[in-house]
Structures are given as structure tokens and as C-alpha cells.
Amino acid sequence: MLTIEPASAAVGAQVTGVYLSDDLPAHHWEAIKQAFQRHSLLVFPGQELTVEDQKRFCRRFGDLLVHDHLLPMTVEGHPECMRLHNDENNPPGLNAWHTDNSGWPDPPLGTVLYAKTTPRVGGDTLFSNMYLAYEALSAPMREMLGQLTATHDAKKAFGADYPELGEMLKKKAIEVNDRFGGGKAVHHPLVRTHPETKKNALYISEPYVTGIDGLSAAESQAILDFLYRHIETNEFIYRHRWHTNDLLIWDNRCLQHYAVADYFPHERLMYRMNILQEESG
């Protein structure tokens, strides 16, 4: 029996009683999609899935994104699927709050992450609810932020500010300058209205953001520093402790996440896919 229960007071729900490798009935998919809008993060424990199963699940929500700049890190024959493997020879990369791929013009709708090998200790992922972060701000702050945009640049996330990530890419023969040297910075609003829920959410991503448009460097940094600390408020956060065969889907439009890099040198293997846009039709 399909069961959906909140995972925390802040964000997320756990979905049990279904196996995503099966051909689920239409009413189950409708309930899952409604829960995704309501909870922004869904946890499916105990799923035995192939890469094709995971792709089929993702396509229920939209088209899959192919990361051309990260193709050496994908599963052979499956350019949509990133193989994230860390062990004593491959330390974890990005260790910061962020939302995926905000340095591109069309950031992904969501992320689906499937755990095949989990460390004996550590390796949790934290999720912060950007609806709650926005709602907790004062009315004058919400009004000011609603008028502003920020510059997001992919080169920052894969550059000198995050050397661990750069080193990880180099081991896969991915040269940052070659992949991102010609890329242009993009501009996104600091407050984003979710297209389905119509609710407002903060939209920042520290690894990508270089500044707030139209403000002095000092003004921009002061506001960003405040927002980066604000999203860390405990009441906005759910912490997921991974188990083998967990599958998670989360909404990048209203959540930030933090993959805690505290499990080195233990092994961790995840398969990641990004959903680019809503399912057509």
C-alpha cells in the first residue's frame, strides 16, 4: 500500500509501499507528483533499481539533462547519469550549500540521487527549505530582495574557490578552463516564484553567485553573507542519513542541499540525474 509520511517538520516526505522498478498505476504516480509539490523532497527507501529504472522514474517528472561538461563522469551508455564515486583515492568535492547548476540559463527542475554504496559513518545530506527561509524574513527585507537579481557564474563553482571540486574534475581529465572558459554568467532573481505552487522562495547558490546586480561590492557581500547564514537555520532543515538503495528526488527551485563531506576515506557511490523541465503534454 502506498504510504506518504512527512520526514520532518521542515521539508520532505518518505514514500513506502511502492517499488519503482514496477509498472505503477496512474493514481500512484498522481499521488507521488502531488506529494513532490507539497513536500519538495521525496525519500524512497529500499529500491532495487537499474540505471534504466532510474531514468524511467525521472522522466515521469520531465526531460533529463545531459551535462556535456561532465560526460567523463557519466555511466557508459547513459550520458544522463552521473556516477559519483568517492573513496580513499577520490575525496568528496563540493562541500557547501547550493542548488544544482544555477550557473546556467535554465537550471534543472529537480535532482534524483540513488545510493548504491553508503559509508559506514557520515555522508549525510542536508536540505534547507527556501520557502521557509523566505517567509521568515521581515516584510521590508522580502520587498527589497524581490526587486534584485544576482549574477551566477559556473566558472566560480569549478574554479579556485572550490579546489577540491577542481581536483576531482582533473582526475577525470576534465579541464575547467576548457569546459567553462567561454561560458557566460547568467542572472537569476533572488526571489523565485515556483511555477506550480506559486509560492515565493529564496534563490541563491553560494558556489555560483558572484554578486547582487546593481549593488556595490560591499553592499552585495553584506546581504549575501546574511542570506548564506540565514538558510542554515535549523528550523528550515531536514538531514537525511543515507542507506543503500535509497532514492531521493528534490526540487531545486525551492531547496538547497549540502552533501556533508565527513566520510572520507570511506566509500560512497551514488547515481545522479537532473530533471531539466516539466514533462511535456
Each of the 281 residues of the chain gets a pLDDT tens digit; together they read: 999 999 999 999 999 999 999 999 999 999 999 999 999 999 999 999 999 999 999 999 999 999 887 888 899 999 999 999 999 998 887 789 999 999 999 999 999 999 999 998 999 999 999 999 999 999 999 999 999 999 999 888 877 676 666 666 666 666 666 666 567 899 999 999 999 999 999 999 999 999 999 999 999 999 999 999 999 999 999 999 999 999 999 999 999 999 999 999 999 999 999 999 765 33
Sign of the torsion angle spanned by Cα atoms 263, 264, 268, 274: positive
CB 110 within 8 Å of CB 61:
yes
User: CA 253 to CA 110: how far, in whole Å?
Assistant: 7
Quick check: is 225 catalytic?
A: no
Which residues, 6+ apart, have CB-to-CB distance to 267 below 8 Å? 85, 86, 87, 117, 119
User: CA 123 to CA 266: how far, in whole Å?
Assistant: 9
Which residues, 6+ apart, have CB-to-CB distance to 100 below 8 Å? 107, 108, 111, 252, 274
pLDDT confidence of residue 280? 39
Q: Which cell is 132 given?
A: 521557509
Q: Which cell is 232 given?
A: 542554515
User: CA 239 to CA 8: how far, in whole Å?
Assistant: 9
- Cell 549575501, residue located: 224
User: CA 262 to CA 264: how far, in whole Å?
Assistant: 6
Which residues, 6+ apart, have CB-to-CB distance to 226 below 8 Å? none
CB 45 within 8 Å of CB 245:
yes
Domains by residue range for the chain, with CATH? 3-278 (3.60.130.10)
Q: Which cell is 46 given?
A: 529500499
> Which residue of the set 39, 67, 78, 100 is catalytic?
100
Quick check: is 272 catalytic?
A: yes
What angle is formed at CA 258 by the lines to CA 36 and CA 185, rounded to 5 degrees? 90
pTM for the predicted model, two decimal places? 0.93
CB 192 within 8 Å of CB 200:
yes
Q: Count of CB atoms within 10 A of residue 190's CB?
A: 21
Q: Which cell is 234 given?
A: 535549523
pLDDT confidence of residue 176? 62
Quick check: is 124 catalytic?
A: no
What angle is formed at CA 144 by the lines to CA 190 and CA 202, rounded to 5 degrees? 30
> Which residue of the set 98, 152, 179, 240 is catalytic?
98
Quick check: is 23 catalytic?
A: no
pLDDT confidence of residue 112? 98
pLDDT confidence of residue 143? 98
CB 186 within 8 Å of CB 103:
yes
> Which residue of the set 152, 192, 257, 268 is catalytic?
257
Give SS3 for 128.
strand
DSSP conformation letters of 228-252: HHHTT-GGGEEEE---TT-EEEEET
